[in-house]
Amino acid sequence: MTRPGEDEIIEKYFAPLSGPAGLGLADDAAAFAPPPGQDLVVTKDMLCAGVHFFADDPPGAIARKALRVNLSDLAAKGAEPLGFLLGLALPDDWTPDWLAAFAAGLGEDAAAYRCPLIGGDTVKSPGALTLSITALGSVPAGLRLTRSRVAENDILYVSGTIGDAVLGLGLRGLPPPAWGLELSAESQVFLRERYLLPQPRLTLRAALRASAHAAMDISDGLAGDLAKMLRLSGLTAEIGEVPFSAAAQEALRAEDGLIAALLTGGDDYEILAAVPPDMAASFERAAAAAQVPVRRIGVARRGTTPPVFHDTAGRAIQLKSLSYGHF
């Protein structure tokens, strides 16, 4: 099958996904102004086959994950998506059918999240498939959230459930892990999907802007990301009651030692937020209205040691490392 060249790739697969700022992907750069009274928020994530996804994952799912992990960062800043740029390095064995499925998945999510493609670049890779997305968003002037403004006595919240993705990744192993053989078929499907397709919590952004002192998305593991956030403000915490899904609880019953992996494994793409006590009730109401479950996991306290996590019996959990590291 004859493969299209770079110009045809852009025209056939990606130009149909572009928004007005992208100028039909016919120019060297996008051009737009943020909405009046809004600050611009920019984030970038790079994904590589064999590190962030499997090379044989469905191409549409790979594209969706790449966009969604960036949208998760925008959500944590309280930002509304405006558009994104795509950098795509294709390995030598790509096919038009693969690229069509990739573009279709990307286009469906771009439309669903109202975040059009506005530019990028496509090149040949001498190695693994690599893609990079730069997402742009806007937030009302002065209301952008950061990691660094946690205050003593703030209540710490997480959205959704923690640890599902690392279990989903574990289920991809060969041979399958012993604990995986104990899971129901329904739980296995759920955990695999949580690894393959994260759910960016964009509907939580208004609640975060209205109530939170600080927020970040959980990409490298709850334990490590919480430690990063608290360290910036000279704080620590005692953590209990971390929310685990029914599927994760099923895995923990099969092998209780998995709890450390759930806390440190990463790829959750949930939101970690610090909310002052007098705003906690309104934050919980707003989160419920946005249909995003949130759970109190602790309170920020003065201190310089990493946060300590406790199991259901109140015992401190021993963590060899706090998060996933690339190097």
The verdict on whether residue 13 carries a ligand-binding annotation is: no
Q: Strand 38-48: give its sheet, edge to edge.
A: 38-48, 130-140, 80-90, 117-124
What is the DSSP pairing of strand 130-140 with strand 155-159? Answer: unpaired
Longest Cα–Cα distance in the chain:
63
Do residues 160 and 292 make contact, with C-beta atoms less than 8 angstroms apart?
A: yes
The verdict on whether residue 146 carries a ligand-binding annotation is: no
Cα Rg of the chain, angstroms: 20
Positive/negative CA dihedral, 108, 109, 111, 115: negative
Do residues 269 and 69 make contact, with C-beta atoms less than 8 angstroms apart?
A: yes
Do residues 282 and 288 make contact, with C-beta atoms less than 8 angstroms apart?
A: no
Q: Which residues pair with 58 in a beta bridge?
A: none
The verdict on whether residue 311 carries a ligand-binding annotation is: no
The verdict on whether residue 27 carries a ligand-binding annotation is: no
Do residues 67 and 132 make contact, with C-beta atoms less than 8 angstroms apart?
A: no
The verdict on whether residue 217 carries a ligand-binding annotation is: yes
| The two structure tokens encoding residue 53 | 């996804």
The verdict on whether residue 43 carries a ligand-binding annotation is: yes
The verdict on whether residue 267 carries a ligand-binding annotation is: yes
The verdict on whether residue 324 carries a ligand-binding annotation is: yes
First to last CA, the chain: 39
Which burial class, exposed, middle or buried, applies to 177 when counting CB atoms under 10 A from its CB (0-12, 13-18, 19+)? middle
The verdict on whether residue 220 carries a ligand-binding annotation is: yes
List the binding residues for ATP. 120-121, 147, 219
Binding residues: 28, 43, 45, 52, 73, 120-121, 147, 217, 219-220, 267, 324
Binding residues for substrate: 52, 267, 324
Residues that constitute the known binding site for Mg(2+): 28, 43, 45, 73, 121, 217, 220
